[in-house]
């Protein structure tokens, strides 16, 4: 945090308070209100944290107005085109792009942690077959703290490192097992001769009855989807992980909390909700009806995959995803995909409508991802688990950054109390 000499003056009730300001390397200055309550006896009020910087970080920067997303300074479109997911994981975790030797060592460490403790299989069997895979992931990831005791002490840097590798390595295995369980197929073990994305595709789609060849183009598309979802500053699920971690809870419990938060349709659950919406619309001639519903204040319907708390321009990830959707469908020989057709015409109709342009509502990362995932053979219920496994490196990187900060304190927001003031108990016979 670079300190400026600038201060902000807060004046009320005839009193003035000087608040220090800090300048970032990019983005808006911040007003430091940490001593405000102690000095002025007032809270700030910001439900939803639309104007609040909850921490300082060096990992990811978003410029919502320009539609820019940088991971350790590198633009997401360059990383999506030139890098690959495990290299982006290294970048997010350690701050720099790895040398060839560092990358090989990192990939080997991740590869050797992809299996889960065999006894954890029993957890899957406790769920109904029709359980949502996200319910399974929340439960199984939280249970990891019962199996990996040697990487739960958050005060030990080495245990933090081991927990980070385990979570990144095992999340695809857990997600694939959650999928296999719901379709009644046997679990497929990871293989050390497969890259990260190919391993995940194999664990999801291979069956013991025959050999399975991973299509390298689909593996590349899968890897790109992982990269596009890897981290995203202080979004709701990352903030959940940070708040849970601030109490000193073990990393597996904190990541499970992040998975739970991501599940919501306003957040990571939007990719599933978006595809279901596109299917419900069904054909371009029904688009005007849904556009009007999205604009109607009395209708709770919103365009899933549209809008963003930070981006008031195109989500740069959506641009890459849209290109990838065209490539994957073309590769698979899927012409005239009705869902993609509806998506493209819905996007065009919304972006031609002042309601959306004036409110700066553009497609976000979830608008096109479901079309690719559906074309790859995933059911909609697996869309958010794939988002969760991709985002694990972001949660873990932000967790490590916070835990390593000696100034870290337990998160404890206050409130604007609107309830009853003190009153005496009334015996039941007098009520």
Q: Which residue has the closest beta carbon to ligand SDX?
A: 307
Q: Which residue of the set 113, 132, 308, 315 is catalytic?
A: 308
Nearer to ligand SDX, 221 or 304 (CB): 304
Q: Which is nearer to ligand SDX, 364 or 397 (CB)?
A: 364
- Asked whether position 293 contacts ligand SDX by CB under 6 A, the answer is no
245 lies in the site for ligand SDX, by CB under 6 A: no
State yes or no: residue 195 binds ligand SDX (CB under 6 A): no
Instruction: Give the binding range for ligand SDX (CB under 6 A) out of 150-158, 266-274, 283-291, 377-385.
Output: 266-274
Minimum CB distance to ligand SDX smaller for 294 or for 321: 294
Q: Which of 22, 74, 12 is nearest to 43 (CA)?
A: 12
Minimum separation from the CB atom of position 174 to ligand SDX (A): 20
Q: Is 140 in the site for ligand SDX (CB under 6 A)?
A: no
Question: By C-beta, is 35 or 360 nearer to ligand SDX?
Answer: 360
Q: How far apart are CA 362 and CA 352, in angstroms?
A: 11
Q: Could you tell me if 244 and 367 are in contact, meaning their C-beta atoms sit under 8 angstroms apart?
A: no
- Measured between alpha carbons, how far is 124 from 131 in angstroms, rounded to an integer? 10
Stretch that binds ligand SDX, among 177-185, 192-200, 361-369, 375-383 (CB under 6 A): 361-369
Catalytically annotated residue among 195, 231, 315, 366: 366
Interaction between residue 304 and ligand SDX (CB under 6 A): yes
Q: For residue 305, which of 295, 318, 319, 287 has the smallest C-alpha distance?
A: 318
Measured CA to CA, the distance from residue 175 to residue 422 in angstroms comes to 50
Residue 303 binds ligand SDX (CB under 6 A): yes
Contacting range for ligand SDX; rule: CB under 6 A; set: 89-97, 252-260, 276-284, 298-306: 298-306
The rounded Cα 215 to chain-centroid distance in angstroms is 26
Distance CA 139, CA 141 (A): 6
Q: Which stretch binds ligand SDX (CB under 6 A): 13-21, 280-288, 302-310, 328-336?
A: 302-310
Q: Which is nearer to ligand SDX, 205 or 395 (CB)?
A: 395
Strand partners, 7: 20
Residue 222 structure tokens? 């899968």
Q: Examine the residue annotation and report whether 366 is marked as an active-site residue of this protein.
A: yes
Asked if 306 interacts with ligand SDX (CB under 6 A), we say yes
- 3-state SS class at 60: strand
Span from 174-182, 202-210, 327-335, 358-366 in contact with ligand SDX (CB under 6 A): 358-366
For residues 215 and 273, what is the distance between their CA atoms, to the nearest angstrom?
Answer: 27
What is the per-residue DSSP string for 113-170? T-S--GGGHHHHHTS-TTS-HHHHHHHHHHHGGGT-GGG--TT-HHHHHHHHHHHHHH
Number of Cβ within a 10 Å radius of residue 357 = 12
SS3 358: helix
Active site residue 308: yes
Nearer to ligand SDX, 87 or 366 (CB): 366
- Our finding on whether 322 is near ligand SDX (CB under 6 A) is no
Shortest Å, Cβ 229 to ligand SDX: 6
Count CA within 13 A, CB hemisphere, residue 330. Answer: 7
CB of 295 to ligand SDX, least distance (A): 7
Q: Decide if residue 287 touches ligand SDX (CB under 6 A).
A: no
Nearer to ligand SDX, 202 or 232 (CB): 232
The answer to whether 119 and 147 have CB atoms below 8 angstroms apart is yes
| Total site size for ligand SDX, rule CB under 6 A | 21
Torsion-angle region of 264 (φ positive above 0: left; ψ -120 to 50: alpha; else: beta): beta
Whichever of 93 and 304 has its CB closer to ligand SDX, that residue is 304
Residue (188 or 361) nearer to ligand SDX, CB: 361
**DSSP structural state of residue 247:** T
Contact positions with ligand SDX (CB under 6 A) in 66-95: none
How many other C-beta atoms lie within 10 A of the C-beta of residue 7?
A: 13
Give the separation between CA 27 and CA 190, rounded to whole angstroms: 42
Say how far apart CA 136 and CA 166 lie, in whole Å: 18
Taking CB under 6 A as the binding criterion, the range among 28-36, 112-120, 186-194, 267-275 that sits at the site for ligand SDX is: 267-275
If one asks whether residue 359 binds ligand SDX (CB under 6 A), the answer comes out as yes
The rounded distance, in Å, linking the Cα atoms of 197 and 310 is 29
Contact between 307 and ligand SDX by CB under 6 A: the answer reads: yes
Question: 267, 281, 371, 388: which one contacts ligand SDX (CB under 6 A)?
Answer: 267
Backbone angles phi, psi at 300, to 5 degrees: -70, -10
Catalytic residue numbers read: 308, 366
Q: Which residues bind ligand SDX (CB under 6 A)?
A: 232, 235, 266-268, 270, 294, 302-310, 359, 361, 364-366
């Amino acid at each position: 945090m670079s300190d400026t000499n600038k201060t902000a003056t807060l004046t009320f009730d005839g009193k003035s308070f000087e608040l220090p300001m800090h300048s970032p390397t990019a983005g808006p200055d911040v007003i430091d209100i940490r001593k405000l309550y102690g000095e002025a006896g007032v809270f700030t009020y910001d439900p939803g944290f639309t104007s609040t910087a909850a921490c300082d970080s060096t990992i990811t920067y978003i410029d919502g107005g320009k539609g820019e997303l940088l991971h350790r300074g590198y633009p997401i479109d360059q990383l999506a085109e030139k890098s690959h997911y495990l290299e982006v994981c290294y970048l997010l975790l350690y701050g720099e792009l790895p040398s060839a030797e560092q990358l090989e060592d990192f990939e080997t460490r991740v590869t050797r942690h992809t299996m889960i403790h065999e006894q954890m299989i029993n957890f899957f069997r406790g769920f109904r077959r029709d359980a949502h895979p996200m319910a399974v992931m929340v439960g199984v990831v939280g249970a990891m703290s019962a199996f990996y005791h040697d990487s739960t002490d958050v005060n030990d840097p080495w245990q933090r490192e081991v927990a980070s590798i385990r979570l990144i390595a095992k999340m695809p295995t857990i997600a694939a097992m959650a999928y296999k369980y719901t379709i009644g197929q046997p679990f497929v073990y990871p293989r050390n001769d497969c890259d990260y994305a190919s391993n995940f595709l194999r664990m999801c789609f291979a069956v013991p009855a025959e050999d399975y060849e991973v299509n390298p183009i689909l593996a590349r598309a899968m890897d790109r989807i992982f990269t596009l979802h890897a981290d995203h500053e202080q979004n709701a699920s990352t903030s959940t992980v940070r708040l849970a971690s601030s109490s000193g809870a073990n990393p597996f419990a904190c990541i499970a909390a992040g998975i739970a938060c991501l599940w919501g349709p306003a957040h990571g659950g939007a990719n599933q909700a978006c595809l279901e919406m596109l299917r419900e619309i069904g054909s371009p001639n029904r688009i005007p009806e849904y556009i009007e519903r999205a604009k109607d204040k009395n209708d709770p319907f919103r365009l899933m995959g549209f809008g963003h708390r930070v981006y008031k321009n195109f989500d740069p990830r959506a641009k890459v995803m849209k290109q990838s959707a065209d490539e994957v469908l073309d590769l698979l020989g899927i012409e005239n995909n009705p869902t993609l057709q509806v998506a493209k015409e819905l996007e065009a109709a919304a972006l031609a409508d002042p309601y959306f342009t004036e409110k700066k509502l553009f497609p976000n990362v979830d608008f096109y991802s479901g079309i690719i995932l559906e074309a790859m053979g995933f059911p909609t219920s697996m869309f958010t688990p794939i988002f969760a496994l991709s985002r694990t490196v972001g949660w873990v990187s932000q967790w490590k950054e916070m835990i390593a900060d000696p100034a870290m304190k337990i998160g404890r927001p206050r409130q604007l109390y609107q309830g009853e003031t003190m009153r005496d108990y009334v015996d039941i016979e007098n009520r």
